Amino acid sequence: MPRVFQEGLQELTFGLKTTPMNVPYAAILRVWREADEVPQFRDAWLWDHFLPIVGPKDGEVLEGWTLLTALAAQTTRLRLGLLVTSNRVRPPAVLGKIASTLDVISDGRLVMGLGAGGTHQPPDSGGIAGENPAAAEYAAYGLTLVPPAEGLARLRETVAILRGMWAEDVFDFDGRYYQLRQNRNEPKPIQRPGPPLLIGGWGDRMLRLVAEHADIWNIPGLPHNDFVLLADRLAVLDQACAAIGRDPSELSRSVQVTVSYDDLGGTRSVVRRLVELGFDHIVLSLPRPYPIRAAQLLADEVIAPVVDALPAA
C-alpha cells in the first residue's frame, strides 16, 4: 500500500472525511487521532460550510479552517485539507496566508482543496435534493452568490494569487476581481513551491481549469453522482488534458464515497468499481455517529480487500 492499479496512472491511495455537521469536536478529534495511526489512510478531510446543508437547520457546524488547524496540531502523519474550500468566503490573499500558516503548523502536510464556492444553481444540483442550500447559508453570513462563469473566473484568479504569494518575496496582482499591491507572505509554506492544489468540481469549464492548474481533481461520488456521470467526467478531463498537451497521468483523480456501516460489503463494491473506472484516490466519508476505531474498521473491511485484489506494483 499504495499500489499501482493501472498502467501509467497514479498509485491508489485512501482518505477519510469527517463532515463537521451535528457532531462534537471530541468525536472528530478521536477519529483523526485514530486515523493518524492507521497507515492505509494517507489523508483526512473536512468541509467548508457554516450551516447544515441537510437535517435540522439549527444544527451545530464547526468552521472548517479553524477546526483543521486544531486537528493539524494534534496529528503527525496525515496529510489534511478541506473538500473543498469555498472561494467565495475568504479573499484569496487572506486564504493564502491562512494556508501558509497551517502548512507551517502541520510541518508541510496541507493539501489546498479549493472550489468555486457559492454560485447560482438550479434546484437538485450536485446530488442535493431541493433548493440550493448555499442560498440560505450565504444570506445568513452576509455572503453573495455569483453566476457560475464569474465563480470560475474568480477561482482562476485565486489560483494565480496563491501560487504567486507562496513563491515570490513581493507579489503584485492585477485581475478583474482581485488586486494586490506589495503582498509579502512570510513565513512561506514549508512545501515548496507550495501545497499541492486539489480542485473540486465537474462542469466542462471547471475540468479545463483542473487540467491547466490542479495536482488533484476531486468529485463527489455515490450517492451524489452515479457511475455513468463519473465515467463521463473522467473522459472529459482526459480530453481537457489532451487539449493542452498535459500528460493525464500527472493528475490524480479523487472521489468521495459515503460509507455504509451496515453494508461495508456494498461500500467495498462501490470502491472497487470506482478504481476500475480510473480513480486513484478514494475518500471514505464517514456518516455520524462515528464507530469506535472507525479508521481501523474501514482499513480492514474496505481498503485491505480492495488493495489485495490489485496486481502488485
- Cell (9 digits) for 28: 472528530
pLDDT exceeds 70 at position 128: no
pLDDT at 270: 97
Q: Please report which helix (H) or strand (E) contains residue 14, including its range.
A: strand 11-18
Nearest-angstrom CA–CA distance, 21 and 143: 20
Task: Please count the residues of the chain.
Answer: 313
Residue 220, Cβ neighbours under 10 Å: how many? 21
At residue 155, the 3 state secondary structure works out as: helix
Predicted confidence band of residue 204 (pLDDT cuts 50, 70, 90): very high
How far out from the chain centre does Cα 275 lie?
18
Q: Residue 299 has what DSSP assignment? A: I
Query: What confidence tens digit (pLDDT) does each residue in 291-313 have?
Result: 999 999 999 999 999 999 988 75
User: Band of the pLDDT at 55, cuts 50, 70, 90?
Assistant: confident
What predicted TM-score, i.e. pTM, was given to this entire model? Answer: 0.94
- The crossing angle, in degrees rounded to 10, of helices 204-213 and 227-244 is 50
Report the Cα–Cα distance between both ends of the chain, in Å, rounded.
10
Average pLDDT of 224-239?
Answer: 97
Q: Which of 63, 99, 93 is nearest to 81 (CA)?
A: 99
Instruction: Name residue 270's beta-bridge partners.
Output: none
